[in-house]
A and B are shown apart, each in its own frame.
Chain A
Amino acid sequence: MDEVSILGVATLSKKFGGVTAVQDVSVDVPRGGILSIIGPNGAGKTSLLNMISGFYKPDTGRVVLEGRDITQKKPSDIAALGIGRTFQNIALFSGLTVLDNLMLGRHVRMKSGVLSSVIYWGMAQKEDIAHREAIEEIIEFLKLQDLRKQPTSALAYGLRKRVELGRALASEPKVLLLDEPMGGMNQDEKEDMARYVLDVNQERGVTVVLIEHDMGVVMDISDRVVVLDRGRCIATGTPDEMQRHPKVIEAYLGTSKSGGRV
């Protein structure tokens, strides 16, 4: 892994029973960029993210965050080390308000031991105010002002996706893994979300790893694109290079002959 990467996976493989989900995938995520992972359904994109977040333990290979091997760490520890994420199916805590969801996103920044939160009641309260301010800033950034006390189950689809992004941001991650943040959205919502992702990356300096099916969005906002097909990494490069890459075209269109755009 070179110096400019913040996150790297090396020769990562994972099998479920006899099915190979991910095979020998190596990806370096450049610090401060937006890296997109694309590929047909079942290509192993989400499995790859799940290994980075620690939900799956890879059969072989390593995951390295800022030079530190995190392959065997627990998901909660990995989150605390600075990897935030959103999920493919919206995974907000549905009984809770927008504010509670965002506050939970901040959990890793809180010193809330079972004992300490009882003993240092006053301190916890003071700390709470600082956290509230951080959350308010995110609420403003994502224009969620009117929704603070709403239960998330009452929100429209696009808004829920936005709250989920906010919750991931609340932990002040170094790397943000977004699993189809625009999935199921209409064109307007997609454009909004793409703007937020760009802002997160540029204004907040968060490195973004993005899984997305909308090629227009991917080509517009990505610095680098990784293409997975049947668990393998078949190409890596800039968006332009990927659009012309014969293997990518083959994976998507099932032919190697035509040289058209994806």
Chain B
Amino acid sequence: MSEDLGFLFALLLNGVSIGLMYSLIALGFVLVYKATDAINFAQGEFVMLAGLIVAMMLSFEGMPLAVAVIVTLAVMIGFGFGLERVVLRPLLGRPVVAVIMATIGLAAVLRGLGPVIFGSETRAVSLPIGDEPIVLGPASLPPIQVAGAVVAIAFFLAFSWFFKKSRMGVAMRAVADNQQVAQAMGINVERYFALAWAMAGVVSALGGIVWGSMLGVDVHLALVGLKVFPVVILGGLDSIGGALVGGLIIGIVESLAAGYLDPYVGGGTKDFAPYVLMILVLMIRPYGIFGKRKIERV
């Protein structure tokens, strides 16, 4: 392989692994939007919260990783359930913007309370996976990116099984498709709303662990949530497969921009390239690649 191709391969590989980790976070957003029509502007803060929790757990002497992960998962599931019950359920039937405002408010609260409770220093989340880069041909990846990508793939597989095969998953799709009809089938819609938020909690917990491990944990970890928007706009707000593909595309675009454009302009294109793409998609295909075009006879 020539050096140029090798470079491209390395950029692509890096983009794919980062992209999968974006997909994982975007999945939390999509699950909630799909099932409940709520746009969650606090997805990044969910990830931050999970990162703070896992970092705190791991800071205790002799804390096994498994326990820290399980506690983080449990807290985030509880957080998701609680949030739905306390904040979102009272807003059922209100205009969409009310829910958006509530999640923006929630984001601010979490960003403010995080340092108050957990301290403001940047903490490390050290996973027992070493630092030796994993070499794949001309490219090499930090182990955390490989681990993150594997976790993301595992979760996409698990969720696609859940939604295709499990009774609850199918019922959840029914709720997502048409709430009124789902109710007429005897499906308790509110319970599935709560479940969607809890699932967003699970995804955020894993996102917090892998992203926290990669970037370190402090308030700025929430910024990773901003990448959710280009990912879901690209893939479609309500498409789980779209979150996966959107994440991959954004990861790759970022990586290519960093590799090919940044050297010429002195850096920074990596950070805005995804948003340029997002704006283009909004102009051409506002419902995303896999999103549902909403046509309704009223």
Contact = CB atoms under 8 A, between A and B. Distances in A.
Contacts of A114: 168, 191, 195
A202 to B, nearest CB: 24
Interface string A91-107: 10111100010011101
B171 A107 contact: yes
Contacts of A76: 183, 185-189
Contacts of A150: none
Interface string B151-178: 0000000000000001110110110011
Contact of A110 (B167, B173, B191): B167
B185 A107 contact: yes
A54 B189 CA distance: 14
A94 B176 CA distance: 11
Contacts of A96: 170, 173-174, 177
Contacts of A145: none
Interface residues of B, number: 22
B186 A93 contact: no
B180 interface: yes
B297 interface: yes
Contacts of B297: 89
A79 interface: yes
Contact of B174 (A80, A93, A124): A93
B187 A104 contact: yes
B184 interface: yes
Given A94-B177, A114-B195, A53 B170 contact: no
Contacts of A15: none
Nearest to A86: B184
A93 B183 contact: no
A84 to B, nearest CB: 8
Interface string B119-136: 000000000000000000
B268 to A, nearest CB: 41
A100 B186 contact: no
Contacts of B173: 93, 95-96
Contacts of B91: none
Interface core residue of B168, B170, B171, B185 (most chain A CB under 10 Å): B185
B170 A108 contact: no
Contacts of A232: none
Given A95-B177, A114-B191, A100 B183 contact: no
B109 interface: no
A93 B177 contact: yes
B187 A107 contact: yes
Interface in A157-183: 167, 171
B296 to A, nearest CB: 9
Contacts of A75: 180, 183-184
Contacts of B178: 91, 93
A100 B184 CA distance: 15
Interface string B172-210: 011001101111111111010001000000000000000
A206 B86 CA distance: 41
Contact of B185 (A79, A94, A112): A79
A204 interface: no
A85 interface: yes
B188 A103 contact: no
A159 B184 CA distance: 20
Nearest to A55: B180
A1 to B, nearest CB: 24
10 contacts: A54-B183, A76-B186, A80-B186, A93-B174, A95-B173, A96-B170, A104-B185, A108-B186, A110-B167, A114-B195
Interface of A: 53-55, 74-77, 79-80, 84-85, 87, 89, 91, 93-96, 100, 103-105, 107-108, 110, 112, 114, 117, 124, 128, 167, 171
Given A79-B183, A103-B167, 15 more contacts: A53-B184, A55-B183, A75-B180, A76-B186, A76-B187, A79-B184, A79-B185, A84-B184, A89-B297, A93-B181, A95-B177, A96-B174, A103-B170, A107-B171, A114-B191
